[in-house]
Amino acid sequence: MPRIFILPVITWILALVGIFIWGGIHAFMLAAVLTVLEITLSFDNAVVNAKVLTKMSPAWQSRFLTWGILFAVVFTRFVLPILIVAAAVMRSPAAIAEIAFSDPGAYAALLEHAKPLIASFGGAFLMMVSLRYFIDEDKDVHWLAALERGLSKIGRIEAFEIAFTLALVALMAAFLPNPAGVLFAGVIGVILFIVMEGITSAFTLGSSAAAGGLALFLYLNVLDAAFSLDGVVGAFAITGLIPVIVVGLGVGAYFVRSITLYLVREKTLDSLAYLEHGAHYAILGLALAMFASLFFEVPEVATGGLGLLIVAAAIWSSLRERKKDKHLAV
């Protein structure tokens, strides 16, 4: 086992032991299932994060695993959903937090009520991440060549991905019971992406290594939040026990971040030419699934499974391409 995974494994074991002592075998099994689901469904996140992480110094890469995991567990998987629910039902975050611990069933119902806002925000943000990657006039490495060349040419149109995402959100909102809320959440998702990308570019190009590292650190955590919101909602379909959800998803997030760092240190993205393409197609699929969930139920396992298949296909194509290049070199 690579050394980078030793601490996550130890953390997982200790967390499961603690959950077993607290809630017995039932809580133990639920936490284990949530951890496995989080790891399985977030591999595309790890690939995208790895690309950003290559721009960070080793010190900031380590902070991504330490400070970052605290942010991921405490804020993204607990505090952020409470803030979204509070805004959706117009109650104080403190009141929602009390409901979350005292009546998990009622909190799950409130979270379900806020699901359209979560889906619109997360879908818009992730669609921007994916489209910004493909709609790039300077992009010259293509996996699905015919499609990607066409998307690359669209990059000549300034801010096309912004206009497209906003138009799509507005169109969907027109057919929903709460159009203003859904539209507002989608606009916030687009604005947040633009702001975070602008801050990241400004700091990484013209500032100190510390400032650049901080900007990239913040961007990665915002990206993780967008990826994880639907997972938090889905976790309540499995259990309403807050400690089990926080432990299961939190330890899973720790594993995913360790995978990210492993991909960076092993230079996996350099050796697998189409892996990043596959991850961004998977992100696009997740964004579309979040939008689709505004109209009908989309099983998270199906979405994650599709993402894994796309990434696996990208790895297979990359290995074939590498083998072909070696053969030509000989």
What's residue 90's pLDDT? 86
What's residue 203's pLDDT? 64
What's residue 1's pLDDT? 66
pTM for the predicted model, two decimal places: 0.84
Q: How far apart are CA 9 and CA 251, in angstroms?
A: 9
What's residue 44's pLDDT? 77
Pick out the chain residues at pLDDT < 50.
Answer: none
Please state, in angstroms and as integers, the Cα–Cα distance from residue 60 to each residue in 73, 149, 265, 267, 288, following that order. 18, 35, 14, 17, 32
| Segment 162-205, tens digit of pLDDT | 999 999 999 999 999 889 999 999 999 999 999 888 877 766 55
What's residue 330's pLDDT? 52
What's residue 326's pLDDT? 67
What's residue 95's pLDDT? 92
Please state, in angstroms and as integers, the Cα–Cα distance from residue 241 to each residue in 28, 55, 99, 118, 165, following that order. 11, 38, 12, 21, 35
What's residue 206's pLDDT? 52
| Segment 3-19, tens digit of pLDDT | 888 888 898 899 999 99
What's residue 321's pLDDT? 87
